[in-house]
Structure formats: structure tokens, C-alpha cells
Amino acid sequence: MALKKIYLDNNATTPCDPRVVETMVPYFFEHHGNAASRSHPFGWEAEEAVDYAREQVANLIYADSKEIIFTSGATEADNLALKGAYEMYRRKGNHIITLTTEHKAVIDTCHKLEKQGAEITFLDVERDGLVDLKKLEAAIKPNTIMISVMWANNETGVIQPMKGIGEICKKHGVLFFSDGTQAVGKIPTNPRELGIHLMAFSAHKMYGPKGVGALYVSRKNPRVKVTAQVDGGGHERGMRSGTLNVPGIVGFGKAAEIAKKEMAQDAERLSGLRDKLEKGLCQLEETYINGNVDHRMPHVANISFKHVEGEGLMMTFNQEIALSSGSACTSASLEPSYVLIALGLGDDLAHSSLRFSLGRFSTEEEVDYTIEAISKGVNHMRDLSPIWEMFKEGVDLTKIEWSEH
């Protein structure tokens, strides 16, 4: 008997925690003021609510509330950090170093900056998804102004050596920007302690509402400035104009407060469920976990099932289990994941990967059902596959010339 829809795509977005929704509701109707309207109580209430939420978000990452700039989400925060810092520090240099496995919001923004005269180094990662710190340091030039490395990868959950990167940036006087979207609210994140000067993150990845995010901008040692990318009114310390999304920001604040309190127990429970899921699925032949298993997020598993096409496998259970083959932002494409290709996976494994991202509301019963459904789907597809049959017979598939007709 199938369970009603199972959601294992929490890296794409998380459901809103009911406690967050409850906190937001009054700000749609009772306290509906504009936080920039300072001449009446409705505006004051809204401003007060935003100030409180800013404190809650800052507390989550051990920052000062003045270091939190609200945006429409992490994509806007990525754009503001990269474009804003490039414009602000262009006189010092035009070189930015990033990784080939970054989120598209960083990669595409870097490509845009290239058209404006920036020099971008896209550094390859090792086979386990981690950056080699020696190679990273060797890529720094006299004109390098920033290193941009995401805290945790959205597809594999791999956590980069943030402390080591921060030390390299400090040594060379280079800004360190991190897309912290997949890490903030799920593992402890303290940008100042690790030498991170700018960090983007989003409410909807931590059980808050969609459409609201933040950019952490360091105010001391060093004081960092970014040029506004949205003008008109000088909101958010002049870095991001626009009427603030008060209900969204209130929800973001509540989500941050809950995350701070419950993060450790959530992580412990989810890593147990994740390990159970992996153990169950790795009973299948030729099944591989992608990315470094010692340095990764507690709730993420990226698994390849050799010679089973990921999209096809999803068809066998698609109505019941929500999963991703690749990231949500690129899943409309049938190309294999660029992140997995960057890890050196061949098409046979890159095309056959599924990303499982568990969440606060995932249950053991759902994991049990998922193991059963996917095992059945993999076996079914392999039974139908002449390629699997040839592989089992020991045929070297790399030596076969396939006819186009």
C-alpha cells in the first residue's frame, strides 16, 4: 500500500513550518503597514517586526543585526554580493575565483561579470567534490579581489573546508564570499569566525517562506561595502531598495529562531534516516554514493545506480516520491548534472543519479517505503535493459561503437 506523496526534495525547498505561518499571518492584515512609513503606528509596528526578525536572523549566524541585508532570496543575494563587490573593489582588481560546482546563481552571475571585464577562474574540484586548498591558493593573483565558494553543495551536500579557505583569503587580503543557502539553519554557521565577509542564504531552505533571503555583509575587520543593484529609496542601508516583504521577513525571523533551537536534534535524527536510506539502497548492485561521505550535510544523499537512467527511474514512482535528479534550478534540462560531471563521473553514473534530501517532517516510515520503491524500480529497469545485460556478461561497453540508425 503506497503512502500518500513522500517529499524528499528539501534541498529544492522546504515546507513552511506551521509555527512560522502562524507568526506571519497577522502581518498580512492586522499589522499591514509599510516598514518605511515612519509617520504612523502601522508603519512603526511593521518596522519593529522587521527589526526583531533581523535580530533573529543575525543570531542564527552569530552576526550583528546591522550586517543583515534582506533580499528577495539567495539568488538576489548572490547577485548583490558578486556584482556589488566587483563594482565596489574594481579599482583594486578584477579577478574572482570560484568553483565549477557552484550553484547556477553564482556561475551565471560570474559569466555576466566576465562580459563586463571581470577575469573569472572556475576551479575544478577533486573527485570527492572538495576543493584542493593548495590549488585554490595557487590560483590567487595580484589582481584577485574575491574567492566565492559555497558552504554546502546543493546536489551532493558536500561541505567545503571553509576555515581553510578563510585563512587563505586573510593571508592574501582577498574577500571571501559564500553562498550559504544549503548550510544556514541546518548546521552551525558563523561567518565571522571562519573569515567569511559576505554570505547569501534564504528562508525557504529552512522551513520559512519563499521570496525572502538575506546577504550577510561584514561591518568590521574588514568593513565590506557592496554597490546596490536595485536603486530607489535607499532601503537596507542603501544596499537594496524596495518595500520590505514584512510578512516574509517575520517568517524568516521565526524560521531562524526555530532552526537555532532545533538544528542539532534535527541533524542527528536526519543523519540517522539518511544512513538508513543509503544502507538500504546500497544493497543493490553497482550503487554509488557521490561526494565526500565524511564532509557533507546530515540530510543529503546523492546516489547513482549504474546503467539506470535517473529520469526513467523517477517515472516508476514519480507520483509517490518527490525527488530530484540534479538541482531544481536545472532539472528542466535532460543533460547530466554538471556538478557530478565536475566530480569526474562518467555519463553512465551521472545520468543515473538521484538526490535525496530529507527534512524536518520526513519519517522513518517514508524512508522504508522509499527504499522498497526505488529498489523495485531499479531492478525493473535493469531487467528491461540490454545494456545492463551486456555489462553483467562482462562486455566492455566503452569499446562498443553504437550505430546512429
Structural domain boundaries, residue 324? 6-13+263-395
- CA dist 109 to 76, 82, 116, 130, 175, Å? 10, 7, 11, 22, 17
Which one of 110, 169, 282, 329 is the catalytic residue?
Answer: 329
pLDDT on residue 87: 97
Q: Does residue 93 register a pLDDT over 70?
A: yes
Among 69-73, 141-145, 351-355, the minimum mean pLDDT is found in 351-355
In a domain, 402, yes or no: no
Domain final position from 210, 238, 258: 258
Confidence of residue 244 (pLDDT cuts 50, 70, 90): very high
Q: Does residue 130 register a pLDDT over 70?
A: yes
**What's 193's domain CATH number?**
3.40.640.10
In a domain, 63, yes or no: yes
Domain final position from 211, 231, 258: 258
In a domain, 404, yes or no: no
Say whether both 91 and 131 belong to one domain. Answer: yes
In a domain, 1, yes or no: no
Q: Does residue 188 register a pLDDT over 60?
A: yes
**What's 310's domain CATH number?**
3.90.1150.10
Catalytic site includes residue 282? no
- Give the whole-angstrom CA distance, residue 18 versus residue 360: 12
Give how far the C-alpha of residue 373 lies from the chain's centroid of Cα atoms, to the nearest Å. Answer: 27
User: Regarding predicted confidence, which is higher, 282 or 401?
Assistant: 282
Q: What is the pLDDT of residues 350-392, one digit of tens each?
A: 889 999 999 999 999 999 999 999 999 999 999 988 888 888 8
Task: Report whether 23 contacts 367 (CB < 8 A).
Answer: no
Say whether both 251 and 321 belong to one domain. Answer: no
In a domain, 275, yes or no: yes
User: For residue 60, which amino acid is it?
Assistant: L
Say whether both 95 and 217 belong to one domain. Answer: yes
Say whether both 254 and 267 belong to one domain. Answer: no
pLDDT on residue 1: 45
Say whether both 85 and 232 belong to one domain. Answer: yes
Domain final position from 258, 285, 313: 258
Q: What is the pLDDT of residues 13-43, one digit of tens each?
A: 999 999 999 999 999 999 999 999 999 999 9
For the chain, the domain total comes to: 2
